[in-house]
Amino acid sequence: MKRHSTPRRQRGTTLVEAATVIAIVSIVTAVALPNFGPSVERRHIEGAAAQLETDLQLARATAVASNAGVRVNFQVLADGGSCYVMHTGAAGDCSCTEEGQPECRPGAEALRTAHYGPGVPVRIASNSRSILFDPVAGTVTPTATMKVQGRSGSAVHQIVNVMGRVRSCSPAPALPGFRPC
């Protein structure tokens, strides 16, 4: 007895089906990608602002705990980057190198450094080159406003009052989650 076999149906995808899926994925990616950039920049700004606020609170707590003044120096670097150094000693005793490493004179000690190089989409600038946290009362001299700004112009301001407390705000157009300045 001879059996007649029917042709089996092949499984898998055809070239047309694969091309259709690739085209749909490409269109979705092209639509989503332009909206992704501002979101990434906003996260960088928020992260740098949160780190700065934490470091300022740490400087205040360290000054009170060690019974010695603690300074935070802010610096714009020649390569377009920025940095700050939390340190002991006088106002000009510590600074950042172009590589973001702290450099201190004898008698001063760098406690914390944050560096934002030219490839980072965030810059930090301050209206005061150096602020001092007093060890007795935890106050700060002078008061200052630090601006954490992205390339698009979006920013978060960290404002340190005379009591050494930090508050955050965002200038218009304000970033979501921050009070307007």
pTM higher than the cut 0.75: yes
CATH architecture of 15-67+118-169: 3-Layer(bab) Sandwich (3.55)
Confidence grade of residue 71 (pLDDT, cut at 50, 70, 90): very high
Across the chain, mean pLDDT equals 89
Q: Above 80 in pLDDT, residue 30? A: no
Q: Above 70 in pLDDT, residue 5? A: no
Other CB atoms within a 10 A radius of the CB of residue 161 amount to: 12
Per-residue model confidence as pLDDT tens digits over 118-141:
888 999 999 999 999 999 988 999
Q: What are the residue boundaries of the structural domains of the chain, listed by start?
A: 15-67+118-169
